[in-house]
């Protein structure tokens, strides 16, 4: 069976991390996120994949090529302007035959695809939507099903008294090819607001496949941190297996960690990472290839992309640092800061809010100190 992955979005909520990289290429435990999605598909025997692309598609194509290095046959279709989720699938229709899968390219899940495909076939469905439970149903579009799983209606952000289910669309679909006939060509069109309501109004069989397995979309900085915490804590089964247990402390090739460094796992260090005397790493922490951490520095729950240089006695927590960021001595970076590629934070600055700094900016020493 073929799979279409939607990777054309601009990832605006993750800016400025998505200024230079499209969302599927953001590193997650030091590998581009899309590598994890492709490995997951391969685990389920899906090796024929079509990427529906738009924003910064060239970065994805350059990394994955024809997919053979990843054991997948990859094809690319790039849209000239955003076509939305359904428009993006219509745009790749020439590569689709038979029943096929559609995946949002920003979701990490342990969903059992084989069981979902069986469920789709047993029900003779035209479309099957994966469903995941949420704690606060009033914040989402809900999918109400009957006892057999057949979708009865979609409810957009209901009031508490109108809540009849806590299951939302989890962004993985099994579709029959006829569904493509409902999508207008070269037009912005969405599954959620266009295709699925249309199928229901035609009384076509649409089913919801409920699962409470691990599920997250990496669409915001907070969730981008959460997904890596969850992987490091062993909560994502297919990835934890691949990371040989997931927990504890792992260092890449050529890493040099001074014996006086305290590491409280889980933490992953990339290749050639250097950590100086007296530093303290308190997981979950991911440090990219070639990063240098100065003496006496404390890093707690943070993601550092490759080439980051941190000076002495820096305090870093709850934050994300892009490629080649420099943080000088005695700076404090806490509280959800997102600092994009190539920024430099001068010594003794204190960034303790969810500040977002665009690529290449430079903050002189002692500028932000309140
Ligand atoms: P935000 O701007 O932060 O909302 O992110 P996004 O642009 O990625 O949108 P969203 O999170 O709603 O997208 C869900 C999935 O659909 C992601 O994998 C996107 O890459 C993909 N996607 C969204 N819009 C389009 C589009 O117009 N074309 C294609 N091909 N994919 C899209």
Rounded to whole angstroms, the Cα distance separating 133 from 123 reads 22
Cα 122–Cα 127–Cα 130 angle in degrees, nearest 5: 85
Per the CB < 8 A criterion, the answer to whether 125 and 174 are in contact is yes
- Mind listing the pLDDT tens digit of every residue in the chain (370 residues)? 999 999 999 999 999 999 999 999 999 999 999 999 999 999 999 999 999 999 999 999 999 999 999 999 999 999 999 999 999 999 999 999 999 999 999 999 999 999 999 999 999 999 999 999 998 888 788 999 999 999 999 987 788 888 889 999 999 999 999 999 999 999 999 999 999 999 999 999 999 999 999 999 999 999 999 999 999 988 998 887 777 544 577 889 999 999 999 999 899 999 999 999 999 999 899 999 999 999 999 999 999 999 999 999 999 999 999 999 999 999 999 989 999 999 999 999 999 888 999 999 999 999 987 6
Q: Which of 236, 254, 290 is nearest to 109 (CA)?
A: 236
Residue ID of nearest Cα to ligand 1 atom 7: 9
Tens of pLDDT, residues 177-202: 999 999 999 999 999 999 999 999 99
Non-local (6+) Cβ contacts of 127 within 8 A are 173, 174, 175, 176, 179, 195, 196, 199, 204, 206, 207
Residue whose CB lies within 8 A of the most ligand 1 atoms, among 4, 5, 7, 8, for a mutation test: 8
pTM attached to this predicted model: 0.95
**C-alpha of residue 188 to centroid of ligand 1, in Å:** 12
**Which CATH code fits 244-363?**
2.160.10.10
**3-class state of residue 187 by DSSP:** coil
- 221 ligand 1 Cβ < 6 A: no
Q: At 109, which helix (H) or strand (E)?
A: strand 107-109
Answer whether 88 contacts ligand 1 (Cβ < 6 A). yes
CATH fold for domain 2-220: Spore Coat Polysaccharide Biosynthesis Protein SpsA; Chain A (3.90.550)
Which token pair is 181?
A: 């006939």
235 lines ligand 1 (CB under 6 A): no
Where do the domains of the chain lie? 2-220, 244-363
Give residue 138's region: left, alpha or beta (phi > 0; psi -120 to 50).
Answer: alpha
Q: Report the candidate in 116, 124, 142, 131 with the shortest Cα–Cα distance to residue 178.
A: 124
CB of residue 85 inside a 6 A radius of ligand 1: yes
Cα 91 to Cα 29: distance, rounded to the nearest angstrom: 32
2-220 matches 244-363 in fold: no
């Amino acid at each position: 069976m073929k799979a279409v992955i939607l990777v054309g979005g601009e990832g605006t909520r993750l800016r400025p991390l998505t200024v230079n990289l499209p969302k599927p290429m953001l590193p997650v435990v030091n590998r581009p996120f899309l590598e994890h999605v492709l490995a997951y598909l391969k685990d389920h025997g899906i090796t024929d994949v079509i990427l529906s692309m738009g924003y910064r598609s060239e970065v994805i194509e350059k990394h994955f090529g024809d997919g053979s290095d990843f054991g997948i046959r990859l094809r690319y279709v790039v849209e000239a302007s955003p076509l939305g989720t359904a428009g993006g699938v219509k745009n790749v229709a020439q590569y689709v035959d038979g029943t096929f899968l559609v995946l949002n390219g920003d979701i990490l899940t342990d969903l059992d695809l084989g069981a979902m495909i069986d469920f789709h076939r047993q029900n003779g469905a035209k479309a099957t939507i994966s469903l995941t439970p949420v704690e606060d149903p009033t914040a989402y579009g809900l999918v109400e099903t009957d006892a057999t799983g057949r979708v009865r209606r979609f409810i957009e952000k209901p009031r508490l008294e109108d809540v009849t289910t806590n299951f939302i669309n989890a962004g993985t679909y099994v579709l029959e090819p006829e569904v493509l006939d409902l999508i207008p060509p070269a037009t912005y069109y969405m599954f959620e607001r266009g295709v699925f309501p249309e199928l229901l109004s035609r009384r076509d069989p649409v089913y919801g496949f409920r699962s409470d397995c691990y599920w997250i979309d990496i669409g915001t900085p907070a969730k981008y941190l959460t997904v890596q915490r969850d992987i490091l804590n062993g909560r994502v089964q297919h990835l934890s297996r691949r990371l040989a247990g997931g927990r504890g402390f792992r260092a890449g090739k050529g890493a040099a960690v001074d014996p006086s460094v305290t590491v409280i796992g889980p933490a992953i260090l990339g290749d050639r990472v250097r950590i100086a005397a007296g530093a303290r790493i308190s997981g979950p922490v991911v440090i990219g290839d070639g990063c240098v951490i100065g003496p006496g520095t404390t890093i707690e729950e943070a993601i550092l992309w490759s080439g980051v240089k941190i000076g002495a006695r820096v305090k870093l927590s709850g934050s994300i640092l892009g490629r080649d960021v420099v943080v000088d001595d005695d700076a404090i970076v806490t509280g959800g800061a997102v600092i994009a590629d190539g920024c430099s934070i001068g010594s003794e600055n204190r960034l303790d809010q969810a500040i977002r700094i665009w690529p290449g900016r430079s903050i002189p020493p002692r500028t932000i100190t309140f």
